[in-house]
Chains A and B, each alone.
Chain A
């Protein structure tokens, strides 16, 4: 049965809003079958839905599990649509690449996971290195992925110092200017970020997306 463009875009939106990965996948495939511009399907179908999810999360109407499922549904849709994008469209869809991790000596993951999920939902490609990440591992991953941003999380006063070491390490090996560096976490504040020479600080995941966009000169 033929589906109109509006119907397919609605399916993509509803799939994300209802945390239904299969529905999103089906709608994305249908979009390709019906010859709908994949860029349009992402921009007018998936993106508004994930933005709405982000707002719900910000208002605490939904929580991390729902955010994670919705982001996963969105990513599944993008994975189907992306190969059909032409080069210029592809560049527009991905906002940038972010390598993220919790610093060495620290095994707290929830805050970092939320930021990673929100960045993905906003359209960033995120390489999550997990927890207890050494400074050289951040750089290796950033080089491998050709990342734009390195984001380092710390939850303890005595591990936030590794964010400073990350800055120093990047400087020491001549890589500091290649990446924008964001820091965050419980004991971290703007003052600390400035002191160690990070490019950006955000106190929560919503603001992290805003800061990441600003750092890359995006709206």
Chain B
């Protein structure tokens, strides 16, 4: 399989081109391939059952990657791949991976379409500005959710030492990263799962280089911690990301790699975005040799991932990858409805069902565009995980029917000015006992009841 060092070498020597030309090359090539393979988006379908389309999207995704490559925005060079390299790499995919220690050691697996294997649940207060006073209890509340298998990033510290909004690449960011490590340790111990696997940092945490500021105070051995490396949409990276990857490899961290193809952006419509997403899924594996390969099916207008186009794209892309490779994959679930709202529960359920029957593991849920500090609620993760585990009994056609009914409940309130605003962690939990408020618990039960009525077998 192609080595990271060979990829890094190509990043130094590949052909040069303008970034805007690369963006348009992706767009035009995806459109040509969609036409050639007759891949069309059907807005009436949320969970596709079309195996032929899934296989065509897979082939088109590989072609896109071979024709376009991956762009290094730092030096304007294109990293190119040959077909035999892609084929060879896919033979070396790790389809099972164990991580964590003791009772918290888990096995993460590649999943197939309509697979009866449970989805691994990655969750946590990721991407949300978190104040110091609730950082530990908020993470602890996620850690104490037994169905959360992997803690995904502890939220990012917004202010410290009297600095209200920490600036990227400032000294305070290094301090925040160090404090983050300290508090994550505390949360894991207090939560009773000191060796729970975690995904340490993502781009929404601290800037890439300052993330390394906490490395010597990491809670456990490198092999128990996923480090996150994310492409820029579409099929782009930079020198900092390559450098960070080299560092992670030097110290033996397993990698969690991904990207967020943007429907409506250079990826185009849902059909072309599915092709781009497959190319990106393969590319993150080729470039990083990642254990887990992630896609967030982002949408330019909604900026959330549970809209009809993102659902369809995720199902088609997911099935393409699941039917044709043994890659371990995740899909993220970003909702327009905010924590403490019925809409967030139902949106998260829709994407969970769509993803699970399409061969994915799951990350989420989290509110989209996290504008408000401490807006997270671990009860959403609980129901999300329960739905994911119930969905392994569904066929794609059944899943589509349930998802259609769920989408009908929220499709008119996906825009941010219409979606429910939600509550902070402190408003949803007793921060001392870490018990959800009665109101929060009632909402969870009501949402669960609605999902049972739709046909999900929830305990």
Give A contacts to B, CB under 8 Å: 60, 63-65, 68-69, 104-110, 113-114, 131, 156-162, 164-165, 186-187, 189, 203-204
Contacts and interface: CB of A to CB of B under 8 A. Distances in A.
B403 to A, nearest CB: 20
A105 B208 CA distance: 10
B266 A65 contact: yes
Contacts of A113: 23
Contact of A60 (B28, B156, B169, B301): B301
Interface stretch (B53-61, B182-190, B199-207, B248-256): B199-207
Nearest to B234: A110
A60 B73 CA distance: 28
B264 A60 contact: yes
Contact of A161 (B27, B167, B416): B167
Contact of B264 (A64, A105, A106, A187): A64
Contacts of A158: 156, 165-168, 173, 206-207
A157 B264 contact: no
A67 B267 CA distance: 13
The residue among A157, A187, A204 with the most chain B CB atoms within 10 A of its own CB is A157
A77 B216 CA distance: 58
Interface residues of B, number: 38
Nearest to B176: A158
Interface string B406-419: 00000000001000
Interface of B: 19, 23-24, 27-28, 31, 73, 129, 156, 158, 165-169, 173, 203-204, 206-207, 232-233, 238, 262-269, 300-301, 303, 369-371, 416
B239 to A, nearest CB: 11
Contacts of A110: 233, 262, 265-266, 300
Nearest to B299: A60
Contact of A64 (B19, B156, B206, B268): B268
A104 B170 CA distance: 12
A113 B23 CA distance: 11
Contact of A65 (B19, B24, B166, B206): B24
A192 B182 CA distance: 30
Contact of A107 (B24, B158, B238): B238
B168 A114 contact: no
Nearest to B173: A158
B13 to A, nearest CB: 22
B165 A157 contact: yes
A184 to B, nearest CB: 12
Nearest to A58: B301
B416 A159 contact: no
B70 to A, nearest CB: 15
